[in-house]
């Protein structure tokens, strides 16, 4: 990970949970073709993300999401950050959710080659630091899927 002090995170998220959210977002994009979650609440004990889908996914599909997220975590991928000029970053990632006031430099966070997105939050340095991802509940209403999740250590205890 780059140690340039200008790359220090500005949001005080629980790093393992926030990194898991990045992996979950990319998994949802890959499986359902939806946008990344723009409405979420990331906390140490449990978190939630909203996704907009044309129909409710099945329980089997959501268990596949959980399995895929855990597979990515188990790969022990490096998590890195770099700052790029906005005009360079927008050639490789969607910056539409960033306001113009975000400035001319964008911090991109990469989870191996699995995910890259602009972010100002804290992250682990390697996915091995995350623990096991567990979907704890979900509901679907009016095109919005809300998933709630937590992280467990290998013994099954919540981190």
- Given a cut of 60, whether residue 55 has pLDDT beyond it is yes
Q: pLDDT by residue (tens digit) across 77-116?
A: 999 999 999 999 999 898 888 877 788 899 999 999 999 9
CA atoms of 159 and 157, how far apart (whole Å): 6
Find where tokens 């100002």 sit: 120
Burial class of residue 84 (count of CB atoms within 10 Å of its CB; 0-12, 13-18, 19+): middle
Report pLDDT digits (tens) over 13-33: 799 999 999 999 999 999 999
Tell me the C-alpha to C-alpha distance, in Å, between residue 89 and each of 3, 23, 92, 98.
20, 20, 6, 12
What distance in Å separates the CA atoms of residue 131 and residue 94, rounded to the nearest whole number?
28
Residues contacting 9, CB < 8 A, separation 6+: 81, 120, 121, 122, 123
Bridge partners, 137 (sequence order): 148
Digit-coded pLDDT (tens) for 118-156? 998 899 999 999 999 999 999 999 999 999 999 998 555
What's the pLDDT at 98? 80
Averaged pLDDT for residues 58-68: 98
Angle 59-62-66 from CA coordinates, rounded to 5°: 135
Q: Is the pTM higher than 0.95?
A: no
Q: What's the pLDDT at 7?
A: 47
**pLDDT exceeds 70 at position 8:** no
Pick the closest to residue 12 from 39, 51, 57, 42 (CA basis). Answer: 42
User: Which residue ranges make up each domain of the chain?
Assistant: 5-152
Q: What is the pLDDT of residue 101?
A: 79
CATH for the stretch 5-152? 3.30.980.10
| pLDDT exceeds cutoff 90 at 3 | no
CA–CA distance, 144 with 34 (Å, rounded to integer): 11
Mean pLDDT of the chain: 89
What is the 8-class DSSP label of residue 142?
T
Contact 1, 78 (CB under 8 A): yes
């Amino acid at each position: 990970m780059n140690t340039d002090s200008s790359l220090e995170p500005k949001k005080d998220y629980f790093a393992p949970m926030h990194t898991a959210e990045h992996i979950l977002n990319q998994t949802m994009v890959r499986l359902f073709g939806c946008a990344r979650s723009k409405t979420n609440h990331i906390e140490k004990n449990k978190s939630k993300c909203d996704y907009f889908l044309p129909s409710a996914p099945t329980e089997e599909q959501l268990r596949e999401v959980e399995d895929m997220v855990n597979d990515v975590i188990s790969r022990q991928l490096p998590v890195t950050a770099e700052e790029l000029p906005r005009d360079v970053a927008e050639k490789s990632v969607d910056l539409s959710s960033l306001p113009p006031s975000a400035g001319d430099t964008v911090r991109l966070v990469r989870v191996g080659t699995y995910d890259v997105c602009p972010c100002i939050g804290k992250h682990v340095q390697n996915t091995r630091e995350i623990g096991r991802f567990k979907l704890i509940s979900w509901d679907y209403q009016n095109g919005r899927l809300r998933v709630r999740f937590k992280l467990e250590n290998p013994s099954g205890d919540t981190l």
